[in-house]
A = this chain, B = another copy of it.
Amino acid sequence: MTTRSSTHIGSRDKPLLKALDGEIVSPPPIWLMRQAGRYLPEYREVRKAAGDFLALCHTPDLAAEATLQPVRRFGLDAAIVFSDILVVPHALGQGIRFEEGKGPILDAIRAREQLKSLDKAGLDERLSSVYAALARVSLALPDAVSLIGFAGAPWTVATYMVEGGSSRDFAVAKGWAFSDERGFGELIDILVDAIAEHLAAQVDAGADVLQIFDTWAGVLPRAQFIRWCVGPVEEIVSRVRRRHPGIPIIGFPRGAGVGYEIYARATGVDAVGIDSSVPLYWAASDLQSVCAVQGNLDPVSLLVGGDAMVAHAREIVSVLGKGPFVFNLGHGVLKTTPPDNVAALVATVRAL
């Protein structure tokens, strides 16, 4: 047991915290990325009540309800606060809207001069609804269930801010990063500040685990991956730990391939989330020797369900369950996933 555990009263009763502390937990704890969402009929009701997506994120009662729904329905080992990685640029004052079926649209920031328009002062107040939601969920959760706060990593959040939305080739964001390290670095520095602050505040509000989503970590060449993903996340981890020594942090550099290893070694995270393409035996030998591993059932396998899903889930647990491990998907739940498949998956993992 590390000193970390002793700072968290009751943590020894939570399977997720045990696994993140390096213990082999059997059956492994299970939660699912995007476990709250459109595939659940009860979520669609809450969403309708809220009006639009950002309103849902910023209405604590409704966000708390969306957070709790999958835990209630499936008995998962963790709740993850219902929010979005883009609440941070929104709180920094960047214009953003979500259009149905289109993804987010942002007023793109493409030059160093525009960075002045970002307002760091009001961050805490503008994100207060996230903290209020966490506080509500924290009171409502069963003792054994962990509460996860999260943020997007600087690189991933920056891609949306610079591209003005999602992208196929990230030409604008990468182009800026490649040709003007200093200017792009200023944007990343602003995000390191804001994200470290936001994560630490989520712990204040009741989160007992944090996850950093670097969804687009896989699109950068190695040197740029180190510069824009590994370095900034390391800085965030160290700042958050200064405020909250021992808070467990999961990093998810999706698609990092061979780069997962240096990410696991260099950032200081307690666990790496691995996408579905990462080979299990490699993860067991090269990653679990460094930290806990979380993943990596293909979301399409969950969507399809049946015998194939059961076989895939068993294989994952048989290889990764021998070390510190958290069962999860390799990416978020797809919106056409039958809820019954999630119930069947939880039953499968718990029966192992």
A residues near B (Cβ < 8 Å) are 169-171, 174-175, 178-179, 218-223, 225, 255-259, 276-280, 282, 296, 298-301, 303-304, 306, 308-309, 312, 315, 330, 334, 336
Contact call B258/A304, Cβ cutoff below 8 A: no
Further contacts, 14 of them, CB under 8 A, given A169-B300, A171-B300, A222-B277: A171-B336, A174-B301, A175-B303, A175-B304, A178-B301, A178-B309, A179-B304, A219-B277, A220-B276, A221-B301, A221-B330, A222-B280, A257-B257, A258-B258
Tell me if B282 and A258 are in contact (CB < 8 A).
yes
B residues in contact with A256, CB < 8 Å: 257, 277
| Most B Cβ at <10 Å: residue of A179, A256, A258 | A258
Could you say which of A221, A223, A308 has the most chain B C-beta atoms within 10 Å of its C-beta? A221
Tell me, in angstroms, the Cα distance from A277 to B304 when the chains sit together: 30
User: Contacts A258-B257, A300-B169 known; A276 to B175 CB distance under 8 Å?
Assistant: no
Select A300's contact among B170, B255, B278, beta carbons within 8 Å: B170
Shortest CB distance A293–B (Å): 14
Expressed in whole angstroms, the Cα–Cα distance for A303 and B336 within the complex equals 38
List the B residue with the shortest CB-CB distance to A308. B178
Some 5 contacts from A to B, beta carbons below 8 A apart, are A169-B334, A179-B304, A223-B315, A255-B257, A258-B278
- A33 → B minimal CB distance (Å): 13
* A277 pairs with B169, CB closer than 8 A: no
Interface contact B178-A298, CB-CB below 8 Å:
yes
Q: Which of B175, B218, B298 contacts A221 (CB 8 A)?
A: B298
Can you list the 3 inter-chain pairs with the closest CB atoms, starting with the nearest? A257-B257, A174-B300, A222-B279
Instruction: Please indicate the chain B residues that have their CB under 8 angstroms from the CB of A220 in the complex.
Output: 276-277, 298
Nearest chain B residue, comparing its CB with the CB of A169 = B334
Smallest CB gap from A257: residue in B? B257
Contact A171 B303 (CB under 8 A): yes
Given contacts A221-B312, A298-B174, A334-B169, contact A279 B304 (CB under 8 A): no
Give the distance in Å from the alpha carbon of A101 to the alpha carbon of B76 in the complex: 43
A170: chain B residues within 8 A (beta carbon)? 300
Give chain B residues whose Cβ lies under 8 Å from the Cβ of A309: 178
Q: Which residues of B contact A330 (CB under 8 A)?
A: 221
> Would B221 and A277 count as touching, CB distance under 8 A?
yes
Which B residues lie within 8 Å of A223 (CB)?
Answer: 315
Residues on B with beta carbons closer than 8 Å to the beta carbon of A175: 300, 303-304
Given contacts A303-B171, A334-B171, contact A255 B218 (CB under 8 A): yes
Which chain B residues lie closer than 8 Å to A279 at the CB level?
Answer: 222, 258-259
Q: Which of A222, A225, A276 has the most CB of B within 10 A?
A: A222
Smallest Cβ-Cβ distance to A331: which chain B residue: B169
Q: For residue A299, which residue of chain B has the nearest CB?
A: B169
* Chain B: minimal CB distance from A174 (Å): 4
Q: Which residues of the partner chain B approach A334 to less than 8 Å between Cβ atoms?
A: 169, 171
- Residues of B with C-beta under 8 A to A259: 277, 279
A174's nearest neighbour on chain B, judged by CB, is B300
Q: Kindly state the separation between the CA atoms of A218 and B256 in the bound complex, as whole angstroms.
A: 11
Closest Cβ of chain B: how far from A280's Cβ, in Å?
7
* Closest residue on chain B to residue A220 by CB atoms: B277
Q: A171-B334, A315-B223 are in contact. Are A278 and B303 (CB under 8 A)?
A: no
